[in-house]
């Protein structure tokens, strides 16, 4: 990180009904630990301030009542202007347009789309799982390399053919946008991002504090073959 670019302090996470819990919680837990030594501010963003549940239509079909909810701190309409890092989880809920009310517009407002220059304070976007499909719908990924959940890869590709989808990757870095494969891959991605932005020593210390064994190879992705993405 150059002296002209101070370390980021302001984090935002986008939530929608039916998000995958670990997509959000994995990266956020690493940032929680980082915040013990580096001041961070977290904004949890959603369409409104009602608790956002992980429950989706497949739970209903199975007759399951097993879900968790997170209470937003802000709506998309009043999200802080100083968010520097935005995390977008995926999940089964991302497949239903009604669950994404306000999300696409928010991304376009904060970053622009179709090759536009990014706007305002936002410096990085990090997506986990089908969060990249949501970002692709906004046009932000046009002309960029990206990856996603390999079990859902065929559907993800259909969301935007202008994206250079990488079928075999644990995570992909394209400039200031990072995308990861499914669910747990977001944890490897956040540590890779932390290493680039905060340094290797910090990233390794955070991983060790979590007793987490990092996958350091972005191309190490056995799930591409397992789920037929390649």
Specify the CATH class of 10-224 in words. alpha beta
Please say whether the beta carbons of 31 and 43 come within 8 A: no
Domain residue ranges in the chain: 10-224
Residue 2: per-residue pLDDT: 42
For 93, residues 6+ apart whose C-beta sits below 8 A from its C-beta are 16, 17, 18, 19, 54, 56, 99
HSE, CB side, 13 Å, CA atoms: give it for residue 17.
Answer: 16
State residue 13 phi and psi, 5-degree precision: -130, 130
Please say whether the beta carbons of 37 and 19 come within 8 A: no
Per-residue pLDDT in tens (0 to 9) along the chain, 230 residues: 445 689 999 999 999 999 999 999 999 999 999 999 999 999 999 999 999 999 999 999 999 999 999 999 999 999 999 999 999 999 999 999 999 999 999 999 999 876 555 668 999 999 999 999 999 999 999 999 999 999 999 999 999 999 999 999 999 999 999 999 999 999 999 999 999 999 999 999 999 999 999 999 999 999 999 999 99
Task: Give how far Cα 5 sits from Cα of 8, 84, 114, 197, Å.
Answer: 9, 11, 25, 10
Residue 223: per-residue pLDDT: 97
């Amino acid at each position: 990180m150059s002296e002209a670019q101070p370390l980021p302090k302001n984090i935002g996470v986008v939530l929608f009904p039916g998000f995958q819990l670990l997509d959000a919680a994995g990266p956020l837990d690493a940032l929680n630990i980082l915040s013990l030594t580096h001041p961070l501010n977290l904004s949890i963003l959603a369409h409104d301030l009602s608790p956002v549940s992980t429950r989706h239509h497949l739970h209903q079909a199975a007759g399951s009542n097993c879900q968790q909810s997170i209470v937003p701190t802000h709506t998309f309409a009043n999200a802080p202007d100083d968010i520097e890092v935005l995390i977008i989880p995926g999940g089964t809920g991302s497949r239903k347009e009604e669950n994404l009310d306000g999300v696409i517009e928010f991304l376009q407002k904060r970053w622009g789309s179709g090759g536009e220059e990014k706007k305002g304070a936002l410096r990085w976007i990090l997506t986990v799982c089908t969060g990249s499909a949501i970002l692709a719908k906004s046009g932000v990924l046009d002309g960029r390399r990206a990856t996603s959940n390999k079990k859902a890869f065929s559907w993800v590709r259909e969301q935007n053919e202008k994206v250079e989808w990488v079928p075999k990757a644990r995570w992909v870095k394209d400039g200031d946008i990072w995308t990861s494969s499914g669910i747990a891959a977001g944890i490897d991605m956040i540590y890779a991002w932390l290493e680039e932005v905060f340094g290797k020593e910090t990233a390794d210390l955070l991983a060790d504090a979590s007793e987490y064994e990092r996958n350091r190879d972005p191309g190490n992705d056995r799930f591409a073959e397992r789920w037929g993405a390649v």
